[in-house]
Amino acid sequence: MQNTSPSSATTRRTQQERSETMRIRLIDATLSCLEREGYAGTTISKIVECAEVSRGAPMHHFPSKAALIEATAERLVRHMYVRLGEAMLVLNNSDDRVRAMVHSAWHNVFGTREHAAIMELQLASRHDDELAAMMKRLWAAGYQLISGAAEHYFEPVDQNNSVLDLMIMMQWLLRGMSLDRHLVGNQQFYDHHLDLWCALLATRLRARQGVTTPPPRPEFWDSILSSQ
């Protein structure tokens, strides 16, 4: 007689769970391909090979390659939002919030493989209107998160400066640095220039006094966390 234990019955996955596992597997493979092969080299064949699945698996879970790329981009940006939120949370216990913000943003967000994959999508969107429209929506939410947190923790040294403008400039700086990371692998080199930027930023930006609580969550934050 076959022995069927209660534990084996309760651990059996549903079709929905198996489907979601396959979706994540395909998205992870797409992420790896974007990082290694670039956007142009991220073909269905490469994704299938990386995921070690059948040729028909992607089409069963995503109606097109564009849909798979979009799902990957959304997951990447959700991941970046969470990392950005964590980077801002460390500021509560820092004596030098400007330096803590810049270094945390670099090490936990802009210097990661996930950001490298996002950059591949962003560069490709220059020649793909559908991809560009999607990236615009995702980046708009990212700026909302960063600006809200930065204005919670910081204030301009004088009224001629804008916290949001400085945060946008910081993102452009770190994004440009990330594009050169495969050419310059010396972390001390990056840390030196990050500290230089911190010194320049500190002449325009200062921590708000008495702020000891985290910033309020934007409206979309709960949906981001539930999708992780």
In this predicted structure, what is the pLDDT of residue 65? 83
Average pLDDT over every residue of 121-128: 86
Confidence label for 2 from pLDDT (cuts 50, 70 and 90): low
As given in the structure block, the two tokens for residue 81 are: 């939002």
Q: Is the pTM of this model over 0.75?
A: no
Confidence label for 225 from pLDDT (cuts 50, 70 and 90): very low
Q: Which one has a higher pLDDT value, 16 or 220?
A: 16
As given in the structure block, the two tokens for residue 101 are: 């913000």
CA 169 to each of CA 34, 106, 138, 147: distance values in angstroms, whole numbers, following the listed order:
26, 14, 18, 12
Strand locations in the chain (E): 154-156, 205-207
Which has the closest alpha carbon to 215: 144, 112, 160?
Answer: 144
Provide the mean pLDDT of the chain.
80
Query: Over the stretch 11-22, which tens digit does the pLDDT of each residue have?
Result: 567 877 888 888
In this predicted structure, what is the pLDDT of residue 198? 93
Average pLDDT over every residue of 44-68: 85
Do 142 and 218 touch, CB atoms closer than 8 A?
A: no
User: Cβ contacts of residue 84 below 8 Å, gap of 6+?
Assistant: 105, 109, 142, 145, 146, 149
User: What residue spans in the chain does CATH classification 1.10.10 cover?
Assistant: 1-62
User: What residue spans in the chain does CATH classification 1.10.357 cover?
Assistant: 73-226
Phi, psi of 154 (to 5 degrees): -125, 160
Helix (H, G, I), strand (E, B) or coil at 34: helix
Confidence label for 88 from pLDDT (cuts 50, 70 and 90): low
Average pLDDT over every residue of 50-72: 83
In this predicted structure, what is the pLDDT of residue 10? 46
Q: What is the DSSP letter of 108?
A: I
Top-level CATH class of 1-62?
A: mainly alpha
CA dihedral 182, 188, 193, 199 (to 10 degrees): 150
**Start-to-end Cα distance in the chain:** 43
Q: Would you identify the CATH topology of the domain 73-226?
A: Tetracycline Repressor; domain 2 (1.10.357)
Do 73 and 118 touch, CB atoms closer than 8 A?
A: yes
In this predicted structure, what is the pLDDT of residue 9? 45
Query: Over the stretch 153-170, which tens digit does the pLDDT of each residue have?
Result: 889 999 888 988 898 888
Tokens 């089409």 sit on residue: 59
Q: Which one has a higher pLDDT value, 118 or 200?
A: 200
In this predicted structure, what is the pLDDT of residue 70? 82
**CA-to-CA distance for 173 and 178, rounded, in angstroms?**
9
* In the chain, % of residues over pLDDT 90: 10
Q: 13-27, 84-98, 108-122 — which is least confidently predicted?
A: 84-98
